[in-house]
Amino acid sequence: MANPKAVCNGHYHQKQNNLLKSGIYKKNGIAKQIKKNGISNGSFYKQPFTEHFEQAPLYVAVFTYVGFTVGTIFGYLKDFLRACGIQKCPFAIEREEQKDFVPLYQDFENFYTRNLYIRIRDNWNRPICSVPGPQFDLMERVTDDNNWTFRFTGRTIKNVINMGSYNYLGFAETDANALKTVADDLQKYGTGVCSTRQEMGNLDKHIELENLVAQFLGVEDALVFGMGFATNSMNIPALVGRGCLILSDELNHTSLVLGARLSGATIRVFKHNNMQSLEKLLRDAIVYGQPRNHRAWRKILILVEGIYSMEGSIVRLPEVVALKKKYKAYLYLDEAHSIGAVGPTGRGVVEYFGMDPDDVDVLMGTFTKSFGAAGGYIAGRKELMDFLRTHSHSSVYATSMCPPVAEQIVRAMKCVMGLDGTTKGLQRVQQLRKNTRYFRQRLHEMGFIIYGNDDSPVVPLLLYIPGKIAAFARCMLEKNIGVVVVGFPATPITESRARFCVSAAHTREMLDTVLNALDELGDFLQLKYSRNSKSSRPELYDKTSFELED
């Protein structure tokens, strides 16, 4: 087939460019999208699966290290000055009586905190004094001694645009009409449950909520817990134990990692969203068995998340399920960020890929993000849920969810499902999708490096250089926009980022305000590192015809 698009024997033969299938292409010698997640198998996906993880030019990485080196040198200098007494210690000195005691901690372990983090820590833990909706109010605080202590001026900064809260469907609201049922339940049940599910804390509200969650997800039964983190950390130990194998994604959340470590099972980590790596681990596990005695593993559990909150990437669920079926492993899907946020009707990644919820053995999620409440759930088959009801520490010993919160989840879920008789929920889901697409598309056009899937409402914008982390957050606050920034060691050393969470409650005007501010700030701070070629004539994007106009 010399001609790439030949028709031969009635079949249309097209030369497959393998690189193109995996989503990378070279132009002018620059690899546009670095292949980080392996080659994807296109036949599994019913819609295009596009993820971007572009790498910045090398000089940016060099400057990042220069930044950290300068910070470290100044850190050592300041420590020396404090030790000599030339600089005042802004913290208390230990007592004389304790000089001879055995030391408990190393001061080097604290080096990063006191010399790098504290200098810019006015960008975190900002106190909010309103509902974290699309806009919120901040308490203004100033520092007189370089962020060692803060003092509130008494002023409130009003209507700061909120780009950091996980408010995907906009249910963080204070509308009295919408919260009427919640207020009624508060009158009826009070605030506290004062007991565990096994004793006196099993209310009819919990049963109603569990049935609703099961109906929402399309599974047999569900179990709800008062705390999202505890759902993962307490239930994974109930499912697996010694002699079992856990295959966990590289970028899994701390709750999953903690649950896996508490369980006592062997943990192996596969590269983020990389199906070749996962398959290799599965094959090795089955062929070689347990490490010393080579017996078969009792269980193999694959831990993945729906949307990874630091990368904005979506799990390749069809391929994971195919692998799981081939190698007879179990799948635990943590949909903390993706439930309510993706999928045509907001039912999460399972619906997003058009798959059957029965394929996933354990569906887990939280109500904190899309439903404006607190707590988590686990859903799946009825036998599994009954087992967890008796064997999970969370359900046996932890206090159950409080009734007003449960009612908030019930009303939010009914809204999303359309059971309240309106289409408001569906509108929210669609608005979120529109907002996500718009926000991401505009940021790509502007030239920022954005990570993640085109459909994920979590948008990490890469900042790279440590000095820009604080500068970005502070400048955005001056423009009345609140953002969340992260740096090393929470992220890899070269990849500090600002993370935006798009919400259905954001109007187009709010997003435009944010985007214009980002445009200005991107030029000022030199953040537009993307090397994907943009048109030099952006006004041509909107043209409908190219006829000459008189």
- Total chain residues near another protein (CB under 8 A): 75
Site for another protein in 500-539 (CB under 8 A): none
191 binds another protein, rule: CB under 8 A: no
CB 248 within 8 A of CB 383: no
Site for another protein in 92-131 (CB under 8 A): 92-95, 97-114, 117-118, 120-121, 124-125, 127
**At closest approach, how far in Å is the CB of 213 from another protein?**
21
Site for another protein in 154-173 (CB under 8 A): 164, 166
Site for another protein in 349-388 (CB under 8 A): 368
Between 421 and 489, whose beta carbon lies closer to another protein?
Answer: 489
Between 55 and 263, whose beta carbon lies closer to another protein?
Answer: 55
CA 343, CA 351: separation in Å to the nearest integer? 5
In this structure, the strands spanning 221-225 and 376-380 are antiparallel
Q: What are phi and psi of 30, to 5 degrees?
A: -100, 125
183 binds another protein, rule: CB under 8 A: no
CA 46, CA 204: separation in Å to the nearest integer? 40
Report long-range pairs for 247-250 (Cβ below 8 Å, ≥24 apart).
Answer: 247/278, 247/281, 247/282, 247/285, 247/300, 247/301, 247/302, 247/303, 247/329, 248/302, 248/303, 249/273, 249/303, 249/304, 249/305, 249/308, 249/315
CB atoms within 10 A of CB 549: 5
Among the residue ranges 202-210, 303-311, 319-327, 536-544, the one whose residues contact another protein (CB under 8 A): 303-311
**Using CA atoms in the order 361, 366, 369, 375, what is the torsion angle rounded to 10 degrees?**
170
CA 455, CA 441: separation in Å to the nearest integer? 10
Between 135 and 309, whose beta carbon lies closer to another protein?
Answer: 309
**At closest approach, how far in Å is the CB of 482 from another protein?**
12
**At closest approach, how far in Å is the CB of 399 from another protein?**
9
**At closest approach, how far in Å is the CB of 128 from another protein?**
12
**At closest approach, how far in Å is the CB of 254 from another protein?**
6
**At closest approach, how far in Å is the CB of 91 from another protein?**
3
**At closest approach, how far in Å is the CB of 374 from another protein?**
9
**At closest approach, how far in Å is the CB of 521 from another protein?**
18
**At closest approach, how far in Å is the CB of 306 from another protein?**
15
> x-or-dash pattern for another protein, window 239-278, by CB under 8 A?
---------xxxxxxx--x-----------x---------
Q: What are phi and psi of 376, to 5 degrees?
A: -140, 170
* 480 phi-psi bin (left φ>0, alpha ψ -120 to 50, beta other): left
CB 270 within 8 A of CB 278: yes
Site for another protein in 39-58 (CB under 8 A): 55, 58
Between 24 and 61, whose beta carbon lies closer to another protein?
Answer: 61
175 binds another protein, rule: CB under 8 A: no
H or E stretch including 351?
Answer: helix 349-352
The set of residues, in sequence order, having a beta carbon less than 8 Å from that of 63 and lying 6+ positions away, is: 464, 465
Closest CA to 365 of 419, 301, 418, 306: 306
Between 56 and 384, whose beta carbon lies closer to another protein?
Answer: 56
**At closest approach, how far in Å is the CB of 296 from another protein?**
26
The set of residues, in sequence order, having a beta carbon less than 8 Å from that of 199 and lying 6+ positions away, is: none
The set of residues, in sequence order, having a beta carbon less than 8 Å from that of 54 and lying 6+ positions away, is: 32, 33, 34, 449, 530, 531, 532
Six token digits for residue 296: 């078969």
487 binds another protein, rule: CB under 8 A: yes
**At closest approach, how far in Å is the CB of 418 from another protein?**
29
Report whether the peptide linkage leading into residue 489 is cis, meaning its omega lies within 30 degrees of zero.
Answer: yes
287 binds another protein, rule: CB under 8 A: no
**At closest approach, how far in Å is the CB of 200 from another protein?**
20
8 binds another protein, rule: CB under 8 A: no
Between 95 and 537, whose beta carbon lies closer to another protein?
Answer: 95
Give the CB-side neighbour count of residue 264, counting CA atoms within 13 A.
8
> x-or-dash pattern for another protein, window 222-241, by CB under 8 A?
-----x-x------------
Residue from 149, 211, 422, 441 binding another protein (CB under 8 A): 149
Site for another protein in 65-84 (CB under 8 A): 65-66, 69, 79, 82-83
Between 94 and 547, whose beta carbon lies closer to another protein?
Answer: 94
Between 109 and 356, whose beta carbon lies closer to another protein?
Answer: 109
29 binds another protein, rule: CB under 8 A: no
291 binds another protein, rule: CB under 8 A: no
Six token digits for residue 541: 């994007």
24 binds another protein, rule: CB under 8 A: no
Between 101 and 541, whose beta carbon lies closer to another protein?
Answer: 101
- b (16+ CB within 10 A) / e for 393-424: ebbbebbbbbbbbbbbbbbbbbbbbeeeeeee
CB atoms within 10 A of CB 384: 18
Please calculate the CA angle 219-224-228 and round it to the nearest 5 degrees: 115
